[in-house]
Amino acid sequence: MSHNSALSATFDPYEYLQIVLNPDGTITRKHSLLSGAAATSDPSHHTIPSKDISINQSNNVGVRIYLPRQALDSSSTVKLPLIVYYHGGGFIIGNVAASVFHNFCSNMALEFPAVVLSVKYRLAPEHRLPAAYDDAMEALHWITTTQEVWLKEYADLSSCFLMGTSAGGNIVYHVGLRAASQIDELFPLKVKGLILHQPFIGGVKRTESELRLMNNPVFPACVSDLMWDLSLPHGVDRDHEYCNPTVGDESKALDQIRVQEWKVVITGWNGDPMIDRQIEWVKMIEQKGVKVKSHFCDGGYHGIDIVDATKMKDLQIILKNFVLS
């Protein structure tokens, strides 16, 4: 089936997402983005060592840390960049253990190399936004005080990059705005850049690309609309700043990002319904004087870089150059 093929009129976004809405407003999740790979701290020829750590048991917030074998094999005392990663899933599904995100983080740790820390945050609708942003910030503050050996011995906290895929890219932006106003509180952690990988954003009025790709079977409009309905605060629409980054007045925070000389990169594909919004977003950030690089490619679809091995490799080359430049 073509990615632009029309969907059946009976298409059910709940069935597509493998979720069931319960009478109390919670959802039952059956999607594979909730399970998958276990962490393994024993390095082998085929694996990157990883470990799970709980940082807030009451909110079920935690991290999965990936340590490249180069750090263990090398006698060098040079520490590696730290990439704090936020997974995707439209704020309602997804987990650090999902194979697609676990493999993506493992590959990043290996290819850069870098220490990668993937954050487990609360999901909506049980915990609507800004809960995910709060958890993401909590993880950054935890990094500044933890005695975790893998971070203390191998990660360069003065060279930290925040990265997220889809909803995770949205998180990176909002957490980046918060972090830019908490520079002193986050010391010795120093953010150097933001990586927004096909960020999940929206708005009430459809863009040309959203209309063109409204019924594409990879990420149709009814699915993204449902994700926003379940994740935004009660009583707001898609022109809320959590969804539409062009409507809020973030001039002060963006000015802090400019002053701190953080680098920003936004990636996307022409086959993603959100491409027009992402391009417009880049223009808005540039107008604030922030250094922004954009990598928008023809074709593709939402999430292609984490499921297509060739595209993943291409993306990681781009991001490696961005981090190490």
| Full 3-state SS string of the chain | CCCCCCCCCCCCHHHHHCEEECCCCCEEECCHHHCECCCCCCCECCECCEEEEEEECCCCEEEEEECCHHHHHCCCCCCEEEEEEECCCCCCCCCCCEHHHHHHHHHHHHHCCCEEEEEECCCCCCCCCCHHHHHHHHHHHHHHHCCCHHHHHHEEEEEEEEEEECHHHHHHHHHHHHHHCCHHHHCCCCEEEEEEECCCCCCCCCCHHHHHCCCCCCCCHHHHHHHHHHHCCCCCCCCCCCCCCCCCCCHHHHHHHHHCCCEEEEEEECCCCCHHHHHHHHHHHHHCCCEEEEEEECCCCCCHHHHCHHHHHHHHHHHHHHHHC
Predicted confidence at residue 324, as pLDDT, reads 85
87, 231, 302, 305: which is the annotated catalytic residue? Answer: 302
Label residue 1 by pLDDT band (50, 70, 90): very low
Query: How many Å apart are CA 35 and CA 320, to the nearest integer?
Result: 28
Query: How many Å apart are CA 74 and CA 65, to the nearest integer?
Result: 19
135, 272, 276, 305: which is the annotated catalytic residue? Answer: 272
Query: How many Å apart are CA 163 and CA 173, to the nearest integer?
Result: 9
pLDDT tens digits, 217-259: 999 999 999 999 999 999 999 999 999 999 977 778 899 999 9
Predicted confidence at residue 78, as pLDDT, reads 86
Has this prediction a pTM greater than 0.85? yes
pLDDT tens digits, 142-169: 999 999 999 999 999 999 999 999 999 9
Predicted confidence at residue 96, as pLDDT, reads 96
Predicted confidence at residue 34, as pLDDT, reads 67
Look at residue 205 and tell me whether its pLDDT is greater than 90. Answer: yes
Predicted confidence at residue 51, as pLDDT, reads 95
Task: Report the share of the chain in percent with pLDDT over 90.
Answer: 82
Predicted confidence at residue 6, as pLDDT, reads 53
Residue 197 is a catalytic residue:
no
Residue type for position 190 = K
166, 209, 224, 231: which is the annotated catalytic residue? Answer: 166
Predicted confidence at residue 252, as pLDDT, reads 83
Q: Average pLDDT, stretch 178-183? A: 95
Look at residue 17 and tell me whether its pLDDT is greater than 50. Answer: yes
Task: Report the share of the chain in percent with pLDDT over 70.
Answer: 94
Q: Output the average pLDDT for the chain.
A: 92
Q: Which of 179, 218, 173 is nearest to 200 (CA)?
A: 173
Residue 166 is a catalytic residue:
yes
pLDDT tens digits, 40-85: 877 665 679 999 999 999 999 999 999 998 887 767 788 999 999 9
Residue 302 is a catalytic residue:
yes
